[in-house]
Amino acid sequence: MICQNCGQRPASLHYTKIVNGAKTELHLCEECAKEQGESSETEHSFMSAAGGYTIQDLLSDLLNMDQPSTAGNAEKKQPKKANRPLTCDNCGLTYKQFTKTGRLGCAHCYHAFESKLTPVFRRVHSGNTNHTGKVPKHRHEKLHAQRELEEKKRQINILVQNEEFEKAAELRDEIRTLEKQFQGREGDS
């Protein structure tokens, strides 16, 4: 069978579409099928719900939701002209460009768009707005030490719960030394 679309290559994809009771049969070659219906192909796939609509799409939608009906008010926008569009003064990216792509232009964008981004973080990261994980050692020494201290305190609780008192005592001494160092450093600055 020859592809219905290009009439040249042999058809390798055969499918039947039923829309409101009307049945259509399609016979396409791989290439035409790709062109025509990347979407219809994925519609049937198992992953479409999770995969087709990416997290970036979701983000983009969330961001646009935050700008109430700018489209409808396009004509009335004139009086607001004095209000320069929200722009990152480091890289020049506008907030609007960001909402289109879901990508920021530079590290400074996080500060430039902070007021808009915080509610988005809440939604995307389950209400969290603060990082609690790893801290780079060499530029953020103080915070790194602080996190290390917190981690050790967490461990000590686990050790006590498991009644491993000897190990807990060792860790306590370690924590004390670290705390002293830490306070010493605080005093310096």
Partner 1 sequence: MASEHFFSEAISPWMQEGPGPEGDIALSTRIRLARNIEQYPFPVFASEEASATLLRYASSTLLNQSEKVGSLEALNMNELRPNERQVLVEKHLVSPYLIKNTEHSAVLLNNDESISIMVNEEDHLRLQCLSNGMQLEECYNEADRLDDWAEANLTYAFDERLGYLTSCPTNVGTGMRASVMVHLPALVWTNQLSRILPAIHQLGLVVRGIYGEGSEALGNLFQISNQMTLGKSEKDIIEDLRGVVMQVIQRERHARESLLISSRVKLEDRVFRSYGILAYSRTMTTKEAANRLSDVRLGIDLDLIKGISGNILNELMLLTQPGFLEQYAGESLTQEEADIRRANVIRERIKLEL
Binding window for partner 1 (CB under 8 A); candidates: 20-28, 73-81, 101-109, 172-180: 101-109
- Kindly identify the residues of this chain, within the stretch 109-128, that bind partner 1 according to CB under 8 A: 110, 117, 120-121, 124-128
**Least separation in angstroms between CB 107 and partner 1:** 4
Q: How many distinct helices (H) and strands (E) make up the chain? A: 7, 2
Q: Which residues contact 75 (CB under 8 A, 6 or more apart)?
A: none
| Residues facing 10 on adjacent strands | 2
**Least separation in angstroms between CB 83 and partner 1:** 23
Is there a contact between 159 and 171 (Cβ–Cβ < 8 Å)? yes
Q: How far apart are CA 38 and CA 34, in angstroms?
A: 5
Binding window for partner 1 (CB under 8 A); candidates: 24-32, 64-72, 73-81, 169-177: 24-32
Phi/psi at 16 (nearest 5 deg)?
-115, 125
- Kindly identify the residues of this chain, within the stretch 56-75, that bind partner 1 according to CB under 8 A: 56, 59
Q: Which is nearer to partner 1, 50 or 74 (CB)?
A: 50
- Output the CA–CA distances (angstroms, integers) from residue 165 to 38, 156, 161, 169, 171, in the order listed: 62, 9, 9, 6, 10
Q: Which is nearer to partner 1, 77 or 111 (CB)?
A: 111
**Least separation in angstroms between CB 43 and partner 1:** 11
Q: How far apart are CA 116 and CA 97, in angstroms?
A: 14
Residues lying near partner 1 in the complex (CB under 8 A) are found at 9-10, 12, 29-31, 42, 45-47, 49-52, 54-56, 59, 91, 93, 97, 101-107, 110, 117, 120-121, 124-140, 143
